[in-house]
Amino acid sequence: MRVLVVVLLVALASACRPTDLPSGIDAVAHDYVVLALAAGRHDPDFVDAWYGPDDLKARADADTRGPAELREAARALRVYLGTLPVSDEPLDQLRRRYLDRQLGAMVTRLGMVLGEALPFDEETARLYDAVAPQPDIERYERALAEIEALVPGPGPIAERVEAMHRRFVIPPERLATVFGRAIAECRTRTLARIELPEHERFTIEFVTDKPWSGYNWYHGDAYSLIQINTDLPIFIGRAIDLGCHEGYPGHHAYNVLLESELAQGNGWVEFTLYALFSPQSLVAEGSANYGIDIAFPDGEYYAFEEQVLMPLAGLDTAEAVRYRALREALKRLDDAGNAAARRYLDGSFSRADAVEWLVRYTLVSPERAAQRVDFFDKYRGYVINYNLGRDMVRRYIECGADSAPQRWQRFAELLGSPRL
């Protein structure tokens, strides 16, 4: 019976399609893009980047279906995809898996648009194909004790950490110079290891009133608009971090490679669209954060910051070594925000509780914690992609890659592949 249904579905699908239109998995890819664009009319954050063919946009614009009908269509398309024969080629298998998982996430997100509430872990499992570990309070407490010793003195520890950060704020009038130099270095280091099309380029804008600290808006044709939020003072460490994360070898390099390798190289139209609430974001955010470590390994991060960026920012480097130790220790708290998001979105934390947790376990100021909770409100379980994604990408890259050239090669292959 099942075989018969499959045969009928395939026969029906091929009977309905004139021969000059894409067929098989290419047809699924086209329909996926149209559904994603149509979903974007009901959820303004759904489509993060799009630079595909105009005829697909026209099809989506003419699609008047509501979220419930689009969700049914996504479900049906996923079933149909499962009936298609697939070759043994690893790349073809990865492509099918990509479309399958992206469609699954679309079904879930459209359900959320329709008002369905999911527990935090179920939401992240369905949208990002990943679940963050439970918080390790003992590890956080050990890190807090170590940090306490690095910032001695009276007052709450978070305030002392904030006071240390404030010695390393980039003056607003030097932001453009410092960020320009940082991203140029990230780019040089990346281009030495990964080949990108010659016309790849970006611009940086400084903006305000956003729930994020930086954003990459990919426009296609190898161009990114990178925005940096200046609502709160920007510490020197953000220069390399955002230069790598939003630029090279992070989001900009990832998008450029997806475009040149998969969208143009293979003619795979699904890669002309980036659906934000999807497993692709685990790879995007994870690789963007891991990109900092691969571009500035070992002591190179602090060496470049202290020798080049701090003087450019006009900062006193006398305390730089102590600041370095503090930031290394703070890294051990960098997944503590997941627990705040989980408890807040699952309803066991009020907004005030979430801010308090973030101040206690991530040692940020109340203002920065409040900005973080704004992020939870808008992007929900997306928060896990940054740290869990980084850890997963790190394990994937470093397993079987012992040298820097091997790690870069594996990293470049990941960025230019449909792997989730």
* Interacting residues toward Zn ion by CB under 5 A: 285, 288
Q: Quick one: 123 or 285, whose CB is closer to Zn ion?
A: 285
One-letter amino acid for residue 288 of the chain: A
Number of H helices, E strands in the chain: 20, 5
Per DSSP, the three-state class of 233 is coil
Within 10 A of 50 (CB to CB), how many other CB atoms are there? Answer: 19
Q: Quick one: 51 or 212, whose CB is closer to Zn ion?
A: 212
Q: Quick one: 49 or 147, whose CB is closer to Zn ion?
A: 49
- Minimum CB separation of residue 214 from Zn ion in Å reads 7
How far from chain centre, in Å, is Cα 335?
15
Are 25 and 96 in contact by the 8 Å Cβ rule? The answer is: yes
How far from chain centre, in Å, is Cα 380?
13
Are 38 and 60 in contact by the 8 Å Cβ rule? The answer is: yes
One-letter amino acid for residue 222 of the chain: A
- Minimum CB separation of residue 250 from Zn ion in Å reads 7
Location of structure tokens 């086209």 = 30
Q: Quick one: 288 or 310, whose CB is closer to Zn ion?
A: 288
One-letter amino acid for residue 248 of the chain: Y
Separation of alpha carbons 111 and 102, rounded Å: 14
- Minimum CB separation of residue 338 from Zn ion in Å reads 16
Q: Quick one: 259 or 306, whose CB is closer to Zn ion?
A: 259
How far from chain centre, in Å, is Cα 349?
25
- Minimum CB separation of residue 217 from Zn ion in Å reads 11
Location of structure tokens 């520890």 = 157
Q: Quick one: 313 or 420, whose CB is closer to Zn ion?
A: 420
- Minimum CB separation of residue 360 from Zn ion in Å reads 25
Q: Quick one: 202 or 349, whose CB is closer to Zn ion?
A: 202
- Minimum CB separation of residue 289 from Zn ion in Å reads 8
Within 10 A of 166 (CB to CB), how many other CB atoms are there? Answer: 11
- Minimum CB separation of residue 179 from Zn ion in Å reads 16
What DSSP line would sit under 125-141, residue for residue? HHHHS--PPPP-HHHHH
